[in-house]
Each structure stands twice: as C-alpha cells, then as structure tokens.
Structure 1
Amino acid sequence: MSADAQGDFEDEDLESSFLAGDERALEEAYRRWAALVHTLALRSLADVGEAEDVTQKTFVAAWTGRTGYDRAKAPLPAWIVGIARKKIADSHAARARVRELQDRAIAAGLFDEPIHDIDLADRLLVADEIARLDPQSQQVIRLAFFDDLTHVQIAERLGLPLGSVKSSIRRSLERLRRRLEASYVRR
C-alpha cells in the first residue's frame, strides 16, 4: 500500500486498501468524491439536509458493502456514484410515501393542509389521539387549536356554556398528554 505524505493514494492502491478495510482509504475516498455525491444529491433533491444525508448514507453503504465491490466491473468512483444514485432514489421514494400519507390524512379530514414544520409521525399520533375523544371534545379541540378560536368564540359557535368549553379543553388536553406520554415511552 503506497500513500504519500499527505495520505493520497494511487487509484489502484486506494481500491485495494478500501477493499481491505483500511479506514484511511475510506477517508481518502470521502475526500475525493463526497463533493460529487453531495452535488448529485443536491441537484436531484433540492434540499441541503437531504443531500447531506444521502452523502453520509452513500459512504456508509460503500464502506459496509465494500466486499460487493468488483473493480473489474467499474472503478471505485463509479461504484460509489451508483450507490449515491440508489440513495437519491430512496429519498425520492420516501418523499412520495410521506406525500401519500399526508394526502390520505387530509382526505380523512385529519388536517386541512400539507404538513411541513411538524414531524409527520407526531402529527399523525396527535390526530389519532384527538379522534379517540368524544365528538363534542373533538369539535372543541379542533376549533381551539386548528381554527385558533378563543374559548368565548367556541362557546358561541357551539352554543355551550363558557365553563363547559374550558373544562372540555382542560380534560381533553390532560387526556391527550397522558396518551402521548405513554406513546413516547413505548417508542
């Protein structure tokens, strides 16, 4: 294995060292081709965070799957780019699954608009817990938190006493808190 003082490998030595599990070869491969992988991912996904994830996943997959690398079929950089393309496709597929779940949740009336800022799993968990409340409590919670109405506005809209609206919100939030705490403990 020949490497110069800077740690740069000759191409053939890099491939051999990479296959042999030399971590310096992984570092060198990352130094040489991470920018290329990141650029491919960024152009395809148009999201810096996802591009960074794809870059990391690509090199982890290359390292853990290095025994599957056959230098007779492709040079190491081409093999790494092939892995990157698969990871980019996986990211697009994951996006499509999230969009499908969002569309189903919107169609089911769980949400009024696509979810952006809150983790989808958390949002679906909250929606499921709200669905378990009695119908009047569901209505009060939705008006308070999704329509952003005040207690007085909810009482007027539903024809309920103000004290009943406040009690309903307090009981519902306490019930949701207990259920969500239990759900997070199970995760």
Structure 2
Amino acid sequence: MRAQITLQQPADRLWAPVEESLADEEIAAGLHRGQEACLEAAYRRWGTLVHTLAYRALGDAREAEDVTQQVFLAVWRGRAGYNAHRGAFAGWVVGITRRKIADALTARTRRTDLVSAAQATLGLTAPADTMARQVLDQVMVCHELALLPAAQRRVLELAFYSDLSHSQIAHVTGWPLGTVKSHSRRGLNRLRLRIAAAEAQ
C-alpha cells in the first residue's frame, strides 16, 4: 500500500467503469487482497451513504467529511476483519460508520466539557457559539502555560490540544491516572491564580 490513500480519483480512470459492475462481494474480496482500486470502488458505492448518516447524526458538514474519511481508512486498515458469513459487506461498512459517529459525538461532548471547565476555572468568557479551539487558544495566548512545571504543562497540553481524556493521557505518559488528575487540577489552579494576579496588576 502507498503511504497515502486517495479516495477521490478522476472519472476517466481505467478501472472506474469496471467498478460499476462489481458485486459487493467482489469489492470485499479485492479489498481483502489489498487492492486499492477496490477501496476506491467501495468509496464510490457507499461514500454518499456514509456521509449522509454522519451528517444526519452530527449536523455538521465538516465533521461528516472527517467521519467519512475515518470510515474508509478503517475499512482499509480493518479489511482482514471482515467476515462474509457474519453479514453483508455494506452492513459492515455501516457498522463502522456508526462507531465513528459515536466516537465523534463523544469527542464533541468532551470538548464541550473541557471548554466549560476552562472557562469556569480560568475565568475566560466567550460567546456561546465559540468553537472549543478558539477558547483553548486563549489559554495558549496566556503565556503562563509555558511557565507551569513540566508535568502539569504536559497534561494540560495533551488535554487541550490533543483532546485526550485523563485515562488516555495516563496511557500516553505512562503515569498513574491519579497522578494525571492531580497534575491537571494543580495546573489549572496555577493558571487561574497566575491569570488572576496578572489581571490585578
């Protein structure tokens, strides 16, 4: 497989007309053999369905596009896990789509919670429709983040900019979950105190 999979190709590619005549099972078999043309055939056949499902669930075109990309990357990476005896290939693709939509909704909830926590703890104010990234950028602008102890800074950067939960941070850093939570709490408190002191000057 090449380093990057291109899901959209010009319509005049030689295999494009052949794709229309392929049965779902043939696409699945070709994928299993590692044929990228079959990945593109799958995208042409089910891409619109995947995007529609994602958009209906998320209500955001950009997120729906992201989910669609994630679904077909997951189809490619997990192609060996498809078992025709367990159901149709299209159903397998839809199952992956539902999982990716659920992941996107979970991430959205976590970002919303993080924004609320940052606003409450750091005293930040922003319009209700401000995106999480914009709010968190305000934290970065407050250069106080760079002055935190290394461990506290590491935890907050992973939370703010990598959108990781405490459990995920513990996995990435190898630190106990309690230690991660402690660094997060202390780091946020230090930021709050330092920002309050700066505003008082």
TM bucket, shorter chain = 0.5 to 0.7
Gaps of at least 5 residues in structure 2 are 1-13, 146-190
Letter in 1 for 2:63: E
Q: Compared with structure 1, are the counterparts of its residues 4 and 99 closer, same or farther at alpha carbon in structure 2 (3 Å cutoff)?
A: closer
Partner of 2:141: 126
Say if 1:58 and 1:83, in contact at 8 Å, map to a contact too. Answer: yes
Counterparts of 1:80-99 in structure 2, within 5 Å, are 80-99=93-112
Does residue 1:10 correspond to 2:17, yes or no?
no
1:63 to 34, 55, 76: 76
How many aligned residue pairs are there?
Answer: 137
Q: Compared with structure 1, are the counterparts of its residues 81 and 11 closer, same or farther at alpha carbon in structure 2 (3 Å cutoff)?
A: same
**Greater mean deviation of Cα atoms: 14-23 or 58-67:** 14-23
Once residues 5 and 123 of structure 1 are traced to their aligned partners in structure 2, the CA distance between those partners, rounded to angstroms, is 48
Please identify the structure whose Cα radius of gyration is greater: 1
Secondary structure of 1:40's aligned partner = helix
Distance apart, 1:127 and its partner CA: 4.5
Distance apart, 1:112 and its partner CA: 2.0
Gaps of at least 5 residues in structure 1 are 141-187
Once residues 27 and 112 of structure 1 are traced to their aligned partners in structure 2, the CA distance between those partners, rounded to angstroms, is 45
**Greater mean deviation of Cα atoms: 117-126 or 47-56:** 117-126
Say if 2:122 and 2:195, in contact at 8 Å, map to a contact too. Answer: no
Once residues 98 and 116 of structure 1 are traced to their aligned partners in structure 2, the CA distance between those partners, rounded to angstroms, is 12
Distance apart, 1:139 and its partner CA: 3.6
Q: Compared with structure 1, are the counterparts of its residues 128 and 102 closer, same or farther at alpha carbon in structure 2 (3 Å cutoff)?
A: farther
What is the TM-score with the length of structure 1 in the denominator? 0.65
Distance apart, 1:121 and its partner CA: 4.0
Q: Compared with structure 1, are the counterparts of its residues 94 and 5 closer, same or farther at alpha carbon in structure 2 (3 Å cutoff)?
A: closer
Say if 2:71 and 2:93, in contact at 8 Å, map to a contact too. Answer: yes
User: What do residues 60-112 of structure 1 show as CA deviations (whole Å, max 9, x unaligned)?
Assistant: 01101111111111111110110010000001000110111111122214312
Say if 1:54 and 1:84, in contact at 8 Å, map to a contact too. Answer: yes
Partner of 1:76: 89
**Greater mean deviation of Cα atoms: 7-16 or 20-29:** 7-16
Q: Compared with structure 1, are the counterparts of its residues 15 and 42 closer, same or farther at alpha carbon in structure 2 (3 Å cutoff)?
A: same
> RMSD value over aligned CA atoms?
2.5
Letter in 1 for 2:141: V
Say if 1:102 and 1:115, in contact at 8 Å, map to a contact too. Answer: no
Once residues 44 and 116 of structure 1 are traced to their aligned partners in structure 2, the CA distance between those partners, rounded to angstroms, is 21
User: What do residues 108-140 of structure 1 show as CA deviations (whole Å, max 9, x unaligned)?
Assistant: 1431234724625423333572843682x3246
Letter in 2 for 1:138: E
Once residues 36 and 102 of structure 1 are traced to their aligned partners in structure 2, the CA distance between those partners, rounded to angstroms, is 32
Say if 1:7 and 1:28, in contact at 8 Å, map to a contact too. Answer: no
Does residue 1:27 correspond to 2:88, yes or no?
no
What is the TM-score with the length of structure 2 in the denominator? 0.61
Letter in 2 for 1:112: T
Select the structure with the greater relative contact order (CA < 8 A; seq sep ≥ 6): 2
